[in-house]
Chains A and B, each alone.
Chain A
């Protein structure tokens, strides 16, 4: 069964460093998402992406964050200058159609630790 994959599974970085989290969505999916979950808290929406554009972003997704689909398979989340509070599990998701009609399939997550 096709699945969303994410790399790396765990990333440790120093505060102020840039990180890029990578995702390979399911191949025939057109809608892509990033969510995060701080330890012990709710899963929070960050951004949705369709047709090479951001569809919606949350208040969390400020100028330090960016997303890109650099080729036909990868979907990346970049954090330009990490802060301690960026430490969280980051989940990528994809769906064939938009969130209003279709299931979102999640990857296993990247645990980001900012020291």
Chain B
């Protein structure tokens, strides 16, 4: 399976702190995508990084990809209470995404 696996499973931080979560996967990928899910809601796309890219930024988000280690990281800087959610990495092949179990992030005010 190509599935991404996130680490840690849960993360609790103070507002204003940075949150870092990691994703590892098993096989070669075309791209890797990060999604956010608020409790009981839909999946919101955050960022896509292609296999030939090493780093990507979007606002307060920074994603890295190391294909030699088959791993990716998502950094959220200056966290806010609204960032409280579950974050998933998903690896892509031609026809589907394979999701990991996610990291639950709680940002304390």
Contact = CB atoms under 8 A, between A and B. Distances in A.
The bracket for how many chain B residues form the interface is 20 to 34
A107 B45 CA distance: 11
A99 B29 CA distance: 11
A99 B42 contact: no
B42 A106 contact: yes
A100 B33 CA distance: 11
B92 A99 contact: yes
Contacts of B78: none
Contact of B96 (A48, A103, A107, A109): A48
Given A42-B100, A42-B101, A104-B33, A99 B45 contact: no
Interface residues of A, number: 26
Nearest to A109: B42
Contacts, number: 66
Contacts of A42: 3, 99-102
A44 B97 CA distance: 9
Contacts of B88: 43
A97 to B, nearest CB: 10
Contacts of B45: 103-106
Interface string A88-108: 010101000011111111111
27 contacts: A33-B97, A35-B97, A42-B3, A42-B102, A43-B88, A43-B90, A43-B99, A44-B99, A45-B98, A56-B95, A56-B96, A91-B43, A99-B94, A100-B31, A100-B92, A101-B50, A102-B48, A103-B33, A103-B45, A103-B48, A106-B42, A106-B43, A106-B44, A106-B45, A108-B41, A109-B41, A109-B42
Interface of A: 33, 35, 41-45, 48, 55-56, 58, 89, 91, 93, 98-109
Interface of B: 3, 30-31, 33, 35, 40-45, 48, 50, 88, 90, 92-102
